[in-house]
Amino acid sequence: MTIIKRGFAALAAGALSTALAVPAFAEPVKFDFWFGLSGDLARVVDTLCKNFNESQKDYEVVCTSQGNYDATLQNTIAAFRAGKQPTVVQVYDVGTATMMLSGAYKPADKLMEENGYKIDYSDYFPGIARYYATSKGEMLSFPFNSSTALMYWNKDAFAKIGKTEAPKTWEDVAADLQALKDAGYDCPMAINISANESWQLMEQFSALHNQPVATKNNGYDGLDARLEVNKTKFVQYVTDLKKWYDAGLVKIKSKDLGQDMVQAFATGTCQLILTSVGDHGTVGRTQKEGMNWDVAELPVYAGTERKNSLVGGASLWVLSGKSDGEYKGAAAFLNFIHDPKTALFWSTNTGYIPVTKSGFDFMKSNGFYDKAPYKGREVAIASLTASEPTDITRGVRLGNFTQIRAEFGTQMQAIFANKVSVQEGLDALVKNGDAILDRFQQTYPGKTLP
Amino acid sequence: MEKRVTFSKWTIGILFAVPQLFLIFTFFYWPAGQAVYWSLTLQQPWGGGNIWVGLDNFRSILSNASYWDSIAASMIFAGISTGLAMVIALVLAALTDRQLAGSWLYRVVLIWPYGIAAPALALAFRFILAPEAGFMAVVNRAWPGFWDPGLDGADAMASIIIAFSWKYVGYNFIFFLAAFQAIPRSLIEAAAMDGSGVIRRFWDIQFPLITPTIFFLLVINITESFQDSFGIVDIMTAGGPANATNLMVYKIYSDGFKGLDYSGAAAQSIILMLLIIALTIVQFRFIERRVHYR
């Protein structure tokens, strides 16, 4: 017994002394930052953390990759339930609604205000800020790695069919794909129909055309929102994609099949793809020698008044239940990331875009977008800021959205394998997706989104 | 004079059993009980409010058409992959058991696959079975559209069955070989002297003597095909296309961990547990009668 007692006493003393030691000896306050990027991108985050630690001596951020976005959220929830959560965590866009109802965070704008940082929130691109803000405009988390979807087109192949510009409408795309096919290209356009492609096929398409994904302004106005993609312009889009697939104009490319669509484009196998600006660097690094390619905004149907595209990526949340010292450190860290110089470092080393106007201007004035490998990335900003966000184009805020995206993948596969018609597949997506939303609403009775 | 501390038999029994009972309760019964509790509530992922819903979770799962698809897929997967893994291993073990020069090499080569972690194995098979690269690309060039696991559910199911049985062939092989080697040589030699051929000797002597092993492996293989397949599914097909390979255990994983629906996943695990218990009882009641224990 005495041994145990002594152990406890030692532990308590240890805890007490570390708690007291911080102010007394001015050792840096340590706090944890968990993120979901891996590989190349994780190394960039590690450098970012090192830069922050070297920029001042009061705080020390300990950055740990959790492998991917899913795992980061799972691990953070497990840690939170055990009372061992990190101070700052990176959560992907689709986790936003879940985070907002978690009651487990400290609003980022309050944190900054309490610690004396004045952040000009109007500096954020509105399309990015509104994705992470409450309906009243309070920023609950800070955008970190942001992207949007673009069209990548092979200039050499288009030159063969007498085109020097990327198609702007889906009608043009249809004509160009046929021309490319006739010119002997086996794969005019590549798509992927997995769960995550919901982002660019369903969500981006709907935003550009100002079409809702769900009722209640895409879920911003309540947990009782329900899907309605089975009766918007999206039906037309899937019908066309399927028609082009059947005619051999569109090929499905994914890693499971041997080559994903980014590889298929970079090697010159396929001539047109729609994917994140985050892949801009990868295409540049892995492209076939001497291939000419460029990016353009996603096409829209003729006669559409183009709206802003949606932001993708992840934001930084500060979790509740930490000490004042850790919160001070977290605030300093967020302020560091908000700095335009950090934006330049971040965007140079990844494909992500700057999230603030001042960051973008700083990069422009540094000539970033004139240099060879980065040229074209400004199109992403143009696409994100094509219009002032409407009630529908500020984002999609639905509970358990990961499961809804999985349902999207399932139904797209059923449609493309001719198991169901386009309308049947989309009806099933809405029916099963609504059941998921219903379940989320039951889990949080009486709660509303902030 | 002899000094001795005496315990009653009862106390000694308890003393020896306590550590194990403690572990069993901590690692088996407590989590299982927790799963039962979760399956009767709606759990908010971050903790906080848990709502008692009784059997609602079970009702909503069992009224979901895709869950029944998932049960059907699991049954097909378990049946075919267990059958393949056992028959191939049995044939290989029977062949290796004969006194062949260099048979030790066969044993080593066949035992190795079991040591490979499921994800590494699945990655290798994903490449081998990819329609546009590797071996199947050659087949697809000869017969365009022959192999398309990305859209064809049957092809995707075949992929995971191949990967899973390949792993368990190695495992089963070890047991079958041990069973064969435990059969006294004299029995087989006597039969050979009486003039019976290899096949005759196998069916009349070896096969009956290894039925306990066959039964044991059947139970293990079926149970594992329900529980151990999710790593392979996750990497090779992620449950697709169109839920064709969304096995029960993978659905639990994706709903619970990716979808953060802890209660729904807990209810599904309870159903899976009951199903495995039922299958095991059936096997012991009906198949074990045919087993000859020596």
pLDDT tens per residue across all 450 residues of chain A: 445 555 555 545 445 445 444 454 568 999 999 999 888 889 999 999 999 999 999 999 999 999 889 899 999 999 999 999 999 999 998 899 989 998 899 999 999 999 999 999 889 998 888 888 888 888 999 999 999 999 999 999 999 999 999 999 999 999 999 999 999 999 999 999 988 899 999 999 999 999 999 999 999 999 999 999 999 999 999 999 999 999 999 999 987 777 889 999 999 999 999 999 988 888 988 899 999 999 999 999 999 999 999 999 899 999 999 999 999 999 999 999 999 889 889 988 888 999 999 999 999 998 999 988 888 899 999 999 999 999 999 999 999 898 999 999 999 999 999 999 999 999 999 999 999 999 999 999 888 888
Q: Which residues of chain B does A404 touch, with a Cβ-Cβ cutoff of 8 Å?
A: none
| Residues pairing with A300 in the sheet | A169
For residue B236, the tally of other CB atoms under 10 A from its CB is 25
Instruction: Please name the residue of chain A whose CA is at the shortest distance from the CA of residue B244.
Output: A410
| CA-CA-CA-CA torsion sign (B92, B93, B98, B100) | positive
SS3 assignment, position B269: helix
* Nearest CB neighbour to B46, from listed A102, A257, A419: A102
* Nearest CB neighbour to A400, from listed B51, B259, B263: B259
B287 contacts B215 by C-beta, under 8 angstroms: yes
Q: Which long-range contacts (CB under 8 A, 24 or more apart) does A173-180 make?
A: A173/A272, A173/A299, A174/A240, A174/A244, A174/A249, A176/A272, A177/A244, A177/A249, A177/A250, A177/A272, A178/A247, A178/A249, A180/A249, A180/A271, A180/A272
Residue B140 pLDDT class (50, 70, 90 cuts): confident
Q: How far is A403 from chain B (nearest CA, A)?
A: 5
Residue B99 pLDDT class (50, 70, 90 cuts): low
Q: How far is B184 from chain A (nearest CA, A)?
A: 49
Instruction: Please name the residue of chain B whose CA is at the shortest distance from the CA of residue A438.
Output: B60
DSSP label at residue B245: T
Instruction: Write down the pLDDT at residue A25.
Output: 55
Q: How far is B46 from chain A (nearest CA, A)?
A: 6
A302 contacts A220 by C-beta, under 8 angstroms: no
The answer, yes or no, to whether residue B7 has pLDDT greater than 80, is no
Which of residues 160 through 219 in chain B touch A, CB cutoff 8 A?
none
Instruction: Write down the pLDDT at residue B5.
Output: 65
Interface with A, mutate which of B34, B42, B46 (most A CBs under 10 A): B46
A127 contacts A310 by C-beta, under 8 angstroms: yes
Instruction: Write down the pLDDT at residue A224.
Output: 94
Instruction: Write down the pLDDT at residue B84.
Output: 96
Instruction: Write down the pLDDT at residue B2.
Output: 56
Instruction: Please name the residue of chain A whose CA is at the shortest distance from the CA of residue B154.
Output: A417
Instruction: Write down the pLDDT at residue B3.
Output: 60
B68 contacts B243 by C-beta, under 8 angstroms: no
The answer, yes or no, to whether residue B266 has pLDDT greater than 70, is yes
Instruction: Please name the residue of chain B whose CA is at the shortest distance from the CA of residue A264.
Output: B132
Which of A442, A66, A132 has the alpha carbon at shortest distance from B261? Answer: A442
A90 contacts A433 by C-beta, under 8 angstroms: no
- The mean per-residue pLDDT over the stretch B84-95 comes to 92
Instruction: Write down the pLDDT at residue A21.
Output: 47
Contact A103 B264 (CB under 8 A): no
Instruction: Please name the residue of chain A whose CA is at the shortest distance from the CA of residue B148.
Output: A257
Q: Which residues of chain B does A400 touch, with a Cβ-Cβ cutoff of 8 Å?
A: 259-261
Contact A257 B130 (CB under 8 A): yes
A114 contacts A104 by C-beta, under 8 angstroms: no
Half-sphere exposure of A394 (CA within 13 A, CB side): 20
DSSP label at residue A353: B
Whole-Å CA distances, B219 to B113, B176, B214, B281:
21, 14, 9, 10
Instruction: Write down the pLDDT at residue B294.
Output: 60
- Phi, psi angles (nearest 5°) of residue B268: -65, -35
Cis peptide before B241 (omega within 30 of 0): yes
pTM: 0.87
SS3 assignment, position A315: strand
A387 contacts A308 by C-beta, under 8 angstroms: yes
Instruction: Write down the pLDDT at residue A151.
Output: 97
Instruction: Write down the pLDDT at residue A372.
Output: 81
- The mean per-residue pLDDT over the stretch B71-80 comes to 96
